[in-house]
Amino acid sequence: MLCWTFAGCLGMLILGHTSHCHDAELVEVGKLKAVILDLDGCVYVGERPVDGAATAIAELRRMGYRILFLTNNSTLSRAGYVDKLNRMGIKAEEKEMLTSGMATSKYIYDVYGPSRILAVTEEGFVEEARLMGHTVVPLERFHEASIVVVGLDRGFNYQKLRAAARAIISGAKFIATNEDRTLPTETGPDPGAGSIVAAVKAVTGVEPIVIGKPSKIIVNMALEILNVRSDEAVLVGDKLETDIRAAASAGMPSVLISRTEPLGYPRPDFVLSSIRLLPRLLSRR
């Protein structure tokens, strides 16, 4: 039986990274059936693929792992992300893609049915919402919205803030695709959706329902799509506060992609300097 020791004994051999090591806790590699991969900062940065990502993902497929790409970024639809990955030489299909935009649209449909939504987001969420049967109302008709969805919107302005705030104050539900503080880009971190969500919270005093990582809502959807238990999948990402926390809350093993020793909690089970090392870590041999 091939096992990992939690928090990095094998990871240290592969990486030279130091980590806490709890010998009493083991993950049986042979039980794993699926790999859940974050995108931004893990598979690519901005429009630049991470070196070795395409090869690593292809190798994981060859090893028999099911792949699910899980992103908090709602700026593109599932089809948009598939196109982006394919342009980078990374094989992907829509059925392997779960975005916070799609998850938010599904959550609203499951809980509230087809809804009238004011979207303070980019086009990716709007496309997913319409595919799910929702109506996206224009900004000037904010009073018709029963739900306000806030996500990453690089065209965010005062008019959008005012419309969202007035709709929520008038009784519309407030839902956030995610609360990521930053978004990695080729030139450095950009403000994430969390900064826009914080602005709406500051005006309204209302806490949103958050769908994206680390929420169990999106993690449970991912496990349902893969048809696996939480101990049969490993979550790979580059942020403690979203990816690793999501894995910890679901009882799922985790791998942090980072070139430095992580500070804070929860602790990842492994730290890899690059996704290209992932097949070696997950080898069943």
Would you name the residues annotated as active-site residues?
38, 40
The 10 Å CB-count burial string (b at 16+, else e) for 192-221 is bbbbbbebbbeebeeebbbbbbbbebbbeb
Q: Diameter of the chain by CA atoms?
A: 61
Beta pairing partners, 119? 149
CA-to-CA dists, residue 69 to 37, 42, 122, 215, angstroms: 5, 11, 20, 16
CA-to-CA dists, residue 19 to 31, 87, 147, 267, angstroms: 23, 36, 43, 9
Q: Both tokens of residue 248? A: 């910890």
Helix, strand, or coil here: 135?
A: strand
The set of residues, in sequence order, having a beta carbon less than 8 Å from that of 46 and lying 6+ positions away, is 184, 185, 186, 187
The set of residues, in sequence order, having a beta carbon less than 8 Å from that of 64 and lying 6+ positions away, is none
Give the C-alpha separation, 75 to 71, whole Å.
10
Residue 218 near residue 98 (C-beta atoms within 8 A)? yes
Secondary structure letter of residue 83 according to DSSP: H
Helix, strand, or coil here: 249?
A: helix
